Structure formats: structure tokens, C-alpha cells
Chain A
Amino acid sequence: AQSVTQPDIHITVSEGASLELRCNYSYGATPYLFWYVQSPGQGLQLLLKYFSGDTLVQGIKGFEAEFKRSQSSFNLRKPSVHWSDAAEYFCAVGGYNNNDMRFGAGTRLTVKP
């Protein structure tokens, strides 16, 4: 089955600084890739997704991610972080028909004032 690795458990950035959250996937075919955000006590909200086409994907809240097949990566970026971005971020990969999405362990983002 497909799998995802998020190497960073916890990242701290200053407000206004740029952000990059790493995600590496393992899947034998073309993956379907997602980034979700989870605020404390909340459900999961989709930030962006990649299925095919342009490898740079724009999402909500100013986030973007780049699919790099050669590196099996789908890193999430934001040029300028806001305090409200503090949350847990999950990368996920869908399988053959996108019917069994597998999540990474998550990266907790702390934003310093």
C-alpha cells in the first residue's frame, strides 16, 4: 500500500517568515497527493491536492505545493506565515482510485510572534 513520510515532527517559524513542510511518498504508480490542516480540536481541512498536470499546485490560505516525481516529494510552502497558520499539517497519498487515503504522521507548526 502507499505510504507517506513527514520527516519533521515539529517546526517553529517566526511570523512573516517563509515556510516549507516536507512530505515524501511511496507509491508504485502516479500518486494522488494532498495536504490537510488540522487546528486543535477540529477536523481536517483540505489545503490543496495534486492529481496530474502542473506540478506546482496552488491552494487555499496562500499555500502551494510542488510535486517532484524524481524525489518522491510533495512539499508544502508558504512565503509569509501568519500566526493563524499554527496547526498540525498532514500530507496524504491516495491509491489507485483514491479510495484509501493514507496520511503521514503530521508536522506541528508553531508560529512565533
Chain B
Amino acid sequence: EPEVTQTPSHQVTQMGQEVILRCVPISNHLYFYWYRQILGQKVEFLVSFYNNEISEKSEIFDDQFSVERPDGSNFTLKIRSTKLEDSAMYFCASRTSGFTDTQYFGPGTRLTVL
């Protein structure tokens, strides 16, 4: 069964550094998402992406964050200058074009900012 993959599984970085989290959505999916989950807290929506542009974003998704689909398979989340509070599990998700279709989640990347 096709699945969403994410790399790396764990990323450790120093505060102020840039990080790029990578996701490979399911191949025929057209909508892509990033969520984060701070340890012990709820899953929070960050951004949705369709047709090479952001379609929705939350208040969390400020200028420090950006997303990109650099080629036909990858979907990335960049954090320009990481802060301690960016430490979280970041989940990528994707779905097909129908709005009733299920969002499939990847296994997540644990980001630790020191």
C-alpha cells in the first residue's frame, strides 16, 4: 500500500540554524500538508499546499517557515532560524483532489533544537 514517507526520522540542530524537513507524498496525491506536535500536546495544522502554492496556513506558520515542492515527488518544510520552541514532531500528510478524501500521514520527523 502506498504511504507517505519522511526524512530524516530525527533531526537535531542548534538554535538559529536552518532546517529542511523532507516528505514524499503518495504519488497521485495533489494536496500536501504539514502539521506539528509538540511533545505531550495536540497535533497542530501548519500549512496546506496545492497546485504549487499555499492554500491555507495557520497563525503558527509565520515568516520563519516556508514550503516547497522542488520536484515531482518531494515536499519540504524549511524553518529559517530555528528556536527552542520549534522542537516538535513534524508530520507531513497528503490526499487526492476530492475534499472528502482521507489525509494520509507520514511517520513524522522529530526535530530537536538545542
A51 and B100 contact, CB distance less than 8 A: yes
The count of residues in chain A whose C-beta lies closer than 8 Å to any C-beta of chain B is: 23
Contacts known (A32-B100, A44-B91, A98-B100); A103 close to B44, Cβ less than 8 A: yes
Task: Tell me the bound Cα distance from A90 to B44 in angstroms.
Answer: 11
Task: Tell me the bound Cα distance from A95 to B93 in angstroms.
Answer: 16
Nearest chain-B residue to A104 (Cβ)? B42
B100 and A43 contact, CB distance less than 8 A: no
B42 and A90 contact, CB distance less than 8 A: yes
A97 and B42 contact, CB distance less than 8 A: no
A43 and B102 contact, CB distance less than 8 A: no
**Contact of B13 with A by CB under 8 A:** no
Contacts known (A99-B48, A99-B55, A102-B45); A42 close to B100, Cβ less than 8 A: no
Partner of B45, one of A32, A36, A101, A106: A101
Q: Which of B42, B48, B93, B104 has the most CB of A within 10 A?
A: B42
The count of residues in chain B whose C-beta lies closer than 8 Å to any C-beta of chain A is: 25
**Contact of B25 with A by CB under 8 A:** no
**Contact of A8 with B by CB under 8 A:** no
| 22 sampled A-B residue pairs with Cβ under 8 A | A42-B107, A43-B4, A43-B106, A43-B107, A43-B108, A44-B91, A46-B102, A46-B104, A51-B100, A90-B42, A92-B43, A95-B56, A98-B100, A99-B31, A99-B50, A100-B45, A100-B48, A100-B58, A101-B45, A103-B35, A103-B42, A103-B45
Q: Which residues of A contact B (CB under 8 A)?
A: 32, 36, 42-46, 49, 51, 90, 92, 94-95, 97-106
